[in-house]
Amino acid sequence: MRNTILLEKDWTFYKNPQSESGEAVTLPHTWNAVDGQDGGNDYYRGTCKYVRHFVKPELEKGGRAYLEFDGAAMTADVVVNGTKLLHHEGGFSTFRVDVTEQLTEDNLLEVYVDNSNNTKVYPQKADFTFYGGLYRMVKLVTVPKVHFVMDYAGGNGMKVTPEVTILDAAEKQADADVTVELWMTGEAPDVTVDVAGETQTVPVENGYARAVFALKNVHLWDGVDDPYLYTAKAELPGGDVVERTFGCRSFKVDPREGFFLNGRSYPLRGVSRHQDRAGAGNALTYEMHREDMAIVRELGANTIRLAHYQHAQEFYNLCDENGIIVWAEIPYITMHMTDGTENTLSQMKELIVQNYHHPSIVCWGLSNEITAATPVDEDLLENHRLLNDLCHKLDKTRFTTMANVFMQETDSPLLEIPDVNSYNLYFGWYLGELEQNDEFFDEYHAKYPDRCIGFSEYGADANPQYQSTNPTHGDYSETYQTVYHEHMLKMIEERPYLWATHVWNMFDFAADGRDEGGKHGVNQKGLVTMDRKLKKDAFYLYKAYWNKEDAFVHICGSRYVDRKEDTTEVKVYSNQTTVSLYVDGTLLETQDGSRIFRFAVPMTGEHEIVAKAGAEEDSIHIRKVEEANPDYVMGEIKDVINWFDDEPYKPECYSIKDKMSEIKASPKAGAILAELMAQAPGAESRGDVAESVKDNPNLVRMMGRMTLESMLGHMKDSITEEQVKGLNRMLQQIKKGE
């Protein structure tokens, strides 16, 4: 019989493997839980050692013992009783090592784990912390002499493939042929397989067996509506047993109508997620995974992009159980390494073999923003071809995709490799204006109407401490994050051809190299804070759009208490159609609408604001102040808006409100712009950016669509208000067309 022993406790951790003193730890564990989240990009990356003893397990005659590691980041060397047995490269997948021949009554296990820089193992360059450690569970598994294979890419020797025929999509009627493939070690005459109450005993030939079950009127795995799961079970005569849960579903993507599940339109609208949490790093417990899923379900999302690597089996299981459609990918990210091809292939092989059975997964992601730091050359293209071919060889049921950086040319040969494509766009945050997101997809879809396109990343950082009456990109305010996502949700809703959209990110996450927005070491684009304790206002906007089941009402701005304005906007999000706002117990106004409700509230002192929608209500406290609260603003932010409030404006002449391309097209206006940009403080530090713009026609076009005002908003630290006003006055002397 198979037996599994958790090796959770009694570990000693040595940050310096040569040290004689260590620290007692319990798994899961990472050595970067603190220094990987505090900023400075100085977290420890190197080799550390984990040590523990274990007693020799009982083995049947001819039985084998394996050590199973659910994740060791980023590389691991396993040593038992002084003998090195395995070197594994890749920090996110399960791997095993046969320890049978090294066993004594008392056994010394040493695991050397390394997250240092190298040129072979991904990831090496990306906007997140590369935690080191035994951050998932370690197990001791014993199997009988004849057993299902333990040595192939971390799998369990079982592959379940349902082929579904939809008979009536509306009535959810379907049949399915379920093929169960099995691989064994040792001599076995046959194997018994059970699926859906049906049992077959099939012969074993050369360590392989295959059984096919024809299921009539199959119960579909139907996304969040009905995520029904079957179990396939196989047993060998010697007693070894393996199981896989699976789901019966069909899916496809259409370049004009988006994603289909079980024969009906099923727009994929959801979020991305890192395996990360404040104070824990990537050493997550099952309870933490469950909490994350509960928050995702509250939001109403139906898809998750599990970025940028293989996640824990516990979370894939939760996606299966909750009907969440998954984009799964490997950490082939940001920078192509010429020595890393084999590692991308091995990580992809492990990802697919270990996760093939999950009905939640519909696609394999080849790479993410791989051209951000690497040009498209033949070596990069060939790496992607090999990955794409490997995916289709191992899995003929799912499609491949990739997430392209915004500046990637849409006619690049790279986009021809995967089955479908997606783009990461940040117009309205890192550069440009919100409307450029709309323009990008409209132009792409018009040019490539037969290509499927998705929206794999979009977002804006928000520190909940920062609030604003006049929010703008770059202010890191919670207020601007809502403005940003209000636009994006409307844009997405109007473009049903987008096969999937994923907010970046569900949760704030560690990026130790970051120091911005008032926090060190954190990417703050999450809809929820890194500790999961605070849901930002934008969270409730998505809940208003996506959660159709749980009635709620939410008042934005609960952290914007001190308000200087005489009349303040109170914004309410709700999935109900009627909202009433009360000020100090008196009804101010009742509005009928959808999702977003805006109320003008006169400010005279301290006020209790209550919003009611049916039986649901929410309240906030605000007060009138004479001076703006400086704690609501990040440093010395220059407000690059309303430049014309105190001076005349001639629309027939050029101004900073015109697009960059329009100004550059005029010899006179373009010359003025060029001179100011050359003289602006800090211009010399933008040499690399300028060079990349010059060499990237796609980016040149994108920037040309920006207004000069928007561009100046991204230069707050290098240009003054007076310079901007002076520039505008000069432009206002030039009539358009001159």
Tokens found for residue 311: 């996640």
DSSP codes joined into one string, 504-525: S-SB-EEEEEEEETTEEEEE--
Amino acid of residue 323: G
Alpha carbon distance 419, 421 (integer Å): 7
Backbone angles phi, psi at 675, to 5 degrees: -65, -45
**CA torsion, ordered 576, 580, 582, 588, to nearest 10 deg:** 150
Tell me the Cα Rg of the chain: 28
The CA-based angle 349-353-355, given to 5 degrees, is 115
Q: Check if the beta carbon of residue 38 is closer than 8 Å to that of residue 521.
A: yes
Backbone angles phi, psi at 405, to 5 degrees: -65, 150
Alpha carbon distance 110, 132 (integer Å): 16
* 3-state class (DSSP) for residue 436: helix
Tokens found for residue 237: 């005569």
Which residue among the candidates 110, 298, 329, 369 is catalytic per the annotation? Answer: 369
Alpha carbon distance 296, 277 (integer Å): 15
Tell me which residue of 341, 424, 427, 452 sits closest to 389, measured CA to CA.
341
Alpha carbon distance 216, 669 (integer Å): 72
Half-sphere exposure of 509 (CA within 13 A, CB side): 19
Q: Check if the beta carbon of residue 43 is closer than 8 Å to that of residue 512.
A: yes
DSSP codes joined into one string, 61-129: TT-EEEEEES--BSEEEEEETTEEEEEEE-SSS-EEEE-GGG--SEEEEEEEEE----SSSS-SSSSS-
Q: What is the DSSP letter of 482?
A: H
Alpha carbon distance 245, 195 (integer Å): 10
Residue 386: C-alpha distances to residues 250, 692, 722 (Å): 26, 29, 55
Alpha carbon distance 401, 368 (integer Å): 10
Contact residues for 95 (Cβ-Cβ < 8 A; gap 6+) = 68, 69, 72, 76, 86, 88, 154, 350
Alpha carbon distance 488, 650 (integer Å): 32
Contact residues for 189 (Cβ-Cβ < 8 A; gap 6+) = 203, 204, 237
Tell me which residue of 181, 293, 311, 194 sits closest to 532, measured CA to CA.
293
Alpha carbon distance 398, 637 (integer Å): 48
The CA-based angle 626-632-633, given to 5 degrees, is 105
Alpha carbon distance 249, 174 (integer Å): 9
The question of whether 439 is a catalytic residue gets the answer no
Alpha carbon distance 651, 527 (integer Å): 39
* 3-state class (DSSP) for residue 225: helix
Alpha carbon distance 334, 510 (integer Å): 17
Q: Check if the beta carbon of residue 595 is closer than 8 Å to that of residue 588.
A: no
Question: So which residues are the catalytic ones?
Answer: 369
